[in-house]
Amino acid sequence: MTVYFHEGDLPDGLDLGPEVAIDSETMGLRFRRDPLCVVQLSSGDGNAHVVRLSRPDYDCPNLKRLLTDPKVLKIFHFGRFDIGMFELHLGVETRPVYCTKIASKLARTYTDRHGLKDVSRELAGVDMSKAQQSSDWGAAQLSQAQLDYAASDVLYLHVIMNRLNEMLVREGRMELAQACFDFLPVRSRLDLAGWDEIDIFAHA
């Protein structure tokens, strides 16, 4: 595995292919309080690209172009949060998208364990460490441990997606999953608009 570190933006001309695994690191989990700090990506080749974003201007045209490219599928785990952060701070709507957490909940109905660590262990045979999850992602210098952690969150999403797709097709839920993926950017926009803790589809 090689982790490529980029300051501010992806390099010009970088082609990550038609399916890119993406995750982000922030200073917390509140949209308007906590800034977006890092975005990590992988083409599924065993390597990762980690971008430390410039704040507060977020001048990253290459990354924004990738996020909005209709020919590139963006693969997330719990994409609802990342997509919302990208819209809030980068000013772009990320499409098309795939979320392995949604796919897991639709396909792996025999368990209630849908976190990335559990899904990776079962479907990719990888025991991930979450030791750096709560570290300081706004630091002036990122440690090698942070870079390795960031990379691990995207390295296996292609394998996980393919396994989940097999299960979704087998259970006849692929069309339903795709409808959920298509709606996901709208769900993120609802979060940003104040409906993050309200289920507008609920009866009450």
Please give the Cα distance from 91 to 26 (Å, whole number).
16
Calculate the average pLDDT of the chain: 96
Q: In this model, does residue 90 exceed pLDDT 80? A: yes
Task: For residue 185, say if its preceding peptide bond is cis, omega within 30 degrees of 0.
Answer: no
Q: In this model, does residue 131 exceed pLDDT 80? A: no
% of the chain at pLDDT higher than 70: 98
Q: What are the structure tokens assigned to 201, written together?
A: 């589809």
Q: Specify the pTM.
A: 0.96
Q: Which amino acid is at 64?
A: K
The per-residue pLDDT for 132 is: 65
Q: In this model, does residue 72 exceed pLDDT 90? A: yes
Which among 79, 87, 93 is positioned nearest to 36, based on CA atoms?
Answer: 87
Would residue 13 be called left, alpha or beta, if left means φ above 0 and alpha means ψ between -120 and 50 degrees?
left
* Share in percent of the chain as helix, strand, coil (round to 5): 40, 15, 45
Q: In this model, does residue 134 exceed pLDDT 90? A: no
